[in-house]
Structure 1
Amino acid sequence: MTRAQLWTKDFVVGIGLNLAMSMVFYLLMTSMAGYAVARFSAGEAAAGFASSSFVVGAVVSRVLTGKYLDFIGRRKLLIITMAVSILASVAYMFADTLVWLLVIRIIHGIAFGAGNTAIMTAIQSVIPSSRRGEGTGYFGTATTLSTALGPYLGVILPRAFDFVMLFGASAFMSVVAFILCVAIKLPVQELSEEQRRSKWHFKISTLVDPDGLRIGSIMLVCGTAYAAALVFLAGYAADNGVPAAASLFFVAFAVASLVARLFVGRMQDALGDNFVIYPVFVFNLAGNILLAVWPTMPGIILAGVFVGLGFGSLMPCMQAITVKSVPMHRVPVATASFFLLLDAGSGIGPIILGAIMPLTGGNGMFMLCAGLVVVAMILYFSVHGRRRGGRPGREYLH
């Protein structure tokens, strides 16, 4: 039997689109707090909100996008949201008050959340169902690349030039994403009778999906743990006398994630979810323990490798599980629900852990993050692993 074709033109264009879109997110997320302080003399809380308000906008839009994506059209929504992203990137240059900056950030976040939900949903109609885990893993390599390149450029561009250059880079990547939105061809999803009937009914079931929330809850916990590295690792490494280790952590994370995604998805398709997911949790756990007990240059770099193999592999694997768990007409809502909780972990995690850190110190905080990974593993066993995590079978046919 011949294998279903994965590497089509539209799949490759989709990977490029995901890369360009994710670059915009990480370019600005790492530098916006500093910009708010430098440009508007914002306080610590306001500067933090200048960064996280983007996530607030994304969370709001994901809820509605899941419901209305196929009424608007997946390709059409992608084009609209990337046009808004271009305008928002340019508008940053003209924001003359902190309030206007926050407004633009929220609007930009709404556009990103809608567009990201659209492409994450639409690409599943391009990936053959028999290669779902493999294709989702390859598609996710674009996000992995952006997690390394985006923060790096977000620091380098303002330092070497100015923030206008940073916003120009954001606008450029948005233009690239817009062009790819025009180029990609996506199958039109036929609306079910249930969708047509519920178009203007705002019931919970039409806005969120139980399976998306079930699997997304695991990402909420693990995303909270990873947010600690994103936000606090630079200061933690500096406090331990190895400031350069933080950037090398993310390089190691990106390389390990890219290598893992070349084979993890294929193993998930062939051998089942549990065969992949439990080792992924163990790698993630080991990485956080290393950060807590060995905050040296080699220890932090090795932790980056383990977290890359762990958390870096977890998201595409869990997204594949979410998509396989629901009928195709529920994929938009399930995908939106999944990323809604992932965003919540990334946005709320730093606030909670930042409040705890003065009590625990950096070592205690990363050990707490290791505990969160254990909680996520138990949660996975409870909601999926013990019932549907074995070898692929009839439970996913729909």
Structure 2
Amino acid sequence: MNQQGERQKIWTREFIGMSLSNTFIYVAQYAMIAALPIVIMTEYGGGDVEAGLAMTFFQIGTVVARPCAGILIDAVNKRRLMISILTVFFILMCSFAFAATLSALYGLRLVHGVVFAVATTTAAALAALILPPARKGEGIGYFALSTNLAMVAGPMIGLLILEYFTPTVLFAALSVLAAISIAAGGAHRLPDEIILPAKTGRALSVTTFIERRALAPALIAGILFFAYGSVLTFIPLYTRSLGLSSETSLFYACYAGAILVTRPFVGRIFDRKGSDYTVYPGLALFAAGMFLLGNIEGLSGLIAASLLLGAGFGAVTPALQTLAVRSAPPARAGVATATYFWSLDISVGLAAAGLGVVAVTYGYAFTYSIVDVAVIALGAVCYALWRRSART
């Protein structure tokens, strides 16, 4: 292959390493989401409130650390930062096995949130910088698959281990994943122009923590994640109310499968045609999936809704992430990536609280078919207005 072809490659060893490292970080998190409530109830004698606090402390750590992560990434050697934070991640996973009290467990989850924010932001920023400019949309779409696949694999791994083994075995398994993530994320050397910080001389201000040019796509993505947060939070309870609780894992599998099948196409369309050709169709599919989810009566409807949601969500979010990262110069890639993810962290947390009130008052079906569709429509309007202003 000629030099030009080499520069246009997506699947380099470095990109694969970052994708694998990101996958293992997210697998550990989703395994924790599914398994920790059970561990807290069976091993610590806690109840629903205590189980929920484990996620609360994690979210606090993530939301607080995300803006600082962006500054850190742009200020230091990115490869060294990646290796260092993954090493801390490994030590943290090992430490969960020795948490003797709930207070200790909550403290570890708080630190886990901080480490998760820094590690995932670093991996995403490096992956975006490694990708060739002409194929950045397609590449970020592939990179985002690591999160989607982890959403399916993580809960399955966590629950299967707890079904047959002890929590100590669970944390040991997650420690092994953390060790593999170090090898995947830090094994390859990267060019100095990617990993070394640029000397900007920027004074400390709000824009130090938030990349203004990435704010619009980040906020639009946050609106969509607000709707998606209701799926992430309430789908197990909703399927149980429909008598389909045993099919919840199938919902997530079909959702991830739809993303896996459509992602190569939407990434290429983004790079060749532009974001409008992926965002608008994706929003339409996502809204249709939410409406169908609120009006299902059986398994076939649940699967159809998951496929529509996967295809729509998988088309929109990588496009907005690419727009956020591409809007800033390479020297601000870390802050731009952090700005994008920070918006998502806050939106998912607000969805769990705000939409929880709606769901309890009016039901899950109403929340999905009316409220979420209205939220997605708002996102479409904001995107249209932003794109119009960007062209003028």
TM-score by length of 1: 0.92
Is 1:179 paired with 2:179?
no
Change (3 A) 1:336 1:184: same
CA distance in 2, matches of 1:284, 1:202: 39
Name 1:377's counterpart in structure 2. 380
Q: Is the 8 A contact 2:224 2:379 kept in 1?
A: yes
Corresponding residue to 2:245 among 243, 249, 258: 243
- For residues 69-93 of structure 1, what are the alpha-carbon distances to aligned partners after superposition, in whole Å with 9 as ceiling and x for unaligned? 1322111111111111111111111
Distance 1:143 1:184 in 2: 22
SS of residue matched to 1:186: coil
User: Is the Cα–Cα contact under 8 Å of residues 96 and 171 in structure 2 kept in the other structure?
Assistant: yes
TM-superposition CA deviations, 1:341-374 (whole Å, max 9, x none): 1111222211222222111111111121222111
Distance in 2 separating the partners of 1:296 and 1:207: 47
Q: Say which is worse superposed, 321-330 or 35-44, in terms of deviation.
A: 35-44
Q: Structure 1 residue 20: deviation in Å?
A: 1.4
Please tell me whether the aligned partners of residues 125 and 187 of structure 1 are also in contact (alpha carbons under 8 angstroms). Answer: no
Q: How far 1:193 moved relative to its partner?
A: 4.0
Report the equivalent of 1:209: 211
Give the letter for the 2:376 counterpart: V
Aligned residue runs from structure 1 range 29-178, under 5 A:
29-178=33-182
Change beyond 3 A, Cα 1:272–1:112: same
Unaligned runs of 5+ in 2: none
Query: Which residue type is aligned with residue 351 of structure 2?
Result: G
The answer as to whether partners of 1:245 and 1:301 remain within 8 angstroms in 2 is no
Q: Take 2:389 and 2:273, find their aligned partners in 1: how far apart are those partners?
A: 15
**Counterpart amino acid of residue 381 in structure 1:** A
Cα separation, 2, equivalents of 1:382 and 1:32: 42
Following the alignment from structure 2 to structure 1, what is the Cα–Cα distance between the partners of residues 160 and 302?
22
Structure 1 residue 387 displacement after superposition: 4.2
Aligned to 2:263: 261
Q: Give the whole-Å Cα distance in 1 for the aligned partners of 2:238 and 2:36.
A: 20
The range that moved more, 235-244 or 32-41, is: 32-41
Contact 1:125 1:186 in 2 (8 A): no
Cα deviation for residue 280 of structure 1 reads: 0.5
Q: Which residue identity does 1:375 align to in structure 2?
A: L
Of residues 178-187 and 292-301 in structure 1, the stretch that sits farther from structure 2 once superposed is: 178-187
Go from structure 1 to structure 2 and tell me whether the alpha carbon gap of 1:208 and 1:229 turns closer, same or farther (over 3 Å shift): same
- Paired amino acid for 2:260: L
SS at match of 1:262: helix
2-structure distance, mates of 1:32, 1:281: 33
Aligned equivalents of 1:388, 1:305: Cα separation in 2: 32
The answer as to whether partners of 1:122 and 1:186 remain within 8 angstroms in 2 is no
Gaps of 5+ in 1: 390-394
* CA deviation vs aligned residue, 1:290-324 (integer Å, no higher than 9, x gap): 11011421111111101100113322211111122
Aligned AA (1:29): I
Q: Secondary structure, in 3 states, of the residue corresponding to 1:42?
A: coil
**1:156-191 deviation line (CA, Å, top 9, x unaligned):** 221222222221221111000011122132333454
Question: Which of 265-274 and 7-16 deviates more?
Answer: 7-16
Q: Residue 378 of structure 2 aligns to which amino acid in structure 1? A: V
C-alpha distance in structure 1 between counterparts of 2:354 and 2:45, whole Å: 24
Give the residue type in structure 2 aligned to 1:229: V
In the alignment, the residues of structure 2 paired with residue 135 and residue 351 of structure 1 have an alpha-carbon distance, to the nearest angstrom, of 34
1:127 and 1:135 in contact (8 A); partners too? yes
Give the drift of 1:26.
Answer: 1.1
- On the 8 A contact 2:137/2:270 being kept in 1, the answer is yes
In the other structure, the counterpart of 1:10 is 14
C-alpha displacement of 1:33: 2.5
SS of 1:244's equivalent? helix
